[in-house]
Structure 1
């Protein structure tokens, strides 16, 4: 797969994962309306990039912490190794920084999330 088609494939996969994540959060009682709207308006990669690069942790990130579901946060998913091509170092570093602000052991949590997931085609 060439670089362009790989990037397009990853964007589609990330979009699907974000849509599934929003649906899962709604089932948990957190509809993530702002992020859902961002997905529709900007697409998943740009919505994630903007959310992560905002210097303050979002309400949604705090809410996920309260639900003990930071594994469902955009910040965590941006850090998954199979999505590295979609996000530059500044985005990935900011995602990790925000999670650390919430006392997350990023390496441990990311390892657990990655082990639990199998990238879909």
Structure 2
């Protein structure tokens, strides 16, 4: 009967592995009677630890297995299996591997042992999301490869959806005008998106670039002020927002987050 509750479920599986190998040993002409008694008395993991800590270089059972060319059925072999290693100390693992290699056993044979179904392979970490800098640089490269900057029918400058998304994420969907009448303006619309507008500080029609360093997020009221206020107020607001756009962009470019 499988025991070794002290070492949890993995300890039980290790003991089961040892016990399942005994019939093949008997067929090979070796009856590990004493070994079975140790498992019944102490459990599989403690038995392995006791054998590894024995004063001699090898146990009687290990020597018999070596004579029969069956070291892949030894406790030392089981200890070295990747899915059981956490049950043992570094010293125990080194001793098990040393005993095998000293008897000219090829440790690469461990790689031929099928991984048990219960041993879940580590879930690979999801790929890291590209940073703000990486996304900006990728879009800049894509823009350089595009043949035209205007549409044939409207002659309007083509705006980058990627840059617009980056600026919205960078601002976390909030109005970036520090003089906003509703500081931190953040309203969600019926579509689930913030009720704000991405604006070019210096308009594309005036030669301003379609680039995050020239773009800010404004609430509808601040956008209207920037567009329709008196000239002096528009000039003052543009100068203020130009500095904010550059600062926000430079900060995001220096950071490691993707702006989310």
- Please give the range of the TM-score, normalised by the shorter of the 2 chains: 0.7 to 0.9
Please state if 1:91 is matched with 2:92. Answer: yes
- Report the aligned-residue RMSD: 1.5
Aligned counterparts, 1:1-121, within 5 A: 8-56=8-56, 57-104=58-105, 109-121=106-118
Equivalent residues of 1:11, 1:86 under 8 A apart: yes
**Number of residue pairs matched by the alignment:** 111
Distance 1:94 1:120, change over 3 A: same
| Separation in structure 1 between the aligned mates of residue 46 and residue 35 of structure 2, nearest angstrom | 11
What runs of 5+ residues in structure 2 fail to find an aligned partner? 1-6, 119-260
TM-score, structure 2 normalization:
0.40
What is the match of residue 219 of structure 2? Answer: none
**Deviation, structure 1 residue 43:** 0.1
**Deviation, structure 1 residue 120:** 4.1
Distance 1:118 1:37, change over 3 A: same
Distance 1:93 1:55, change over 3 A: farther
**Deviation, structure 1 residue 59:** 1.4
| Separation in structure 1 between the aligned mates of residue 117 and residue 42 of structure 2, nearest angstrom | 23
| Separation in structure 2 between the aligned mates of residue 102 and residue 111 of structure 1, nearest angstrom | 14
| Separation in structure 2 between the aligned mates of residue 114 and residue 73 of structure 1, nearest angstrom | 16
| Separation in structure 2 between the aligned mates of residue 78 and residue 103 of structure 1, nearest angstrom | 17
Equivalent residues of 1:13, 1:120 under 8 A apart: no
| Separation in structure 2 between the aligned mates of residue 114 and residue 74 of structure 1, nearest angstrom | 17
What runs of 5+ residues in structure 1 fail to find an aligned partner? 1-6
Whichever structure has more helix as a proportion of its residues is 1
TM-score, structure 1 normalization:
0.82
Regions of 4+ moved over 6 Å: none
Per the alignment, in what secondary structure is the counterpart of residue 104 of structure 2? coil
| Separation in structure 1 between the aligned mates of residue 113 and residue 98 of structure 2, nearest angstrom | 23
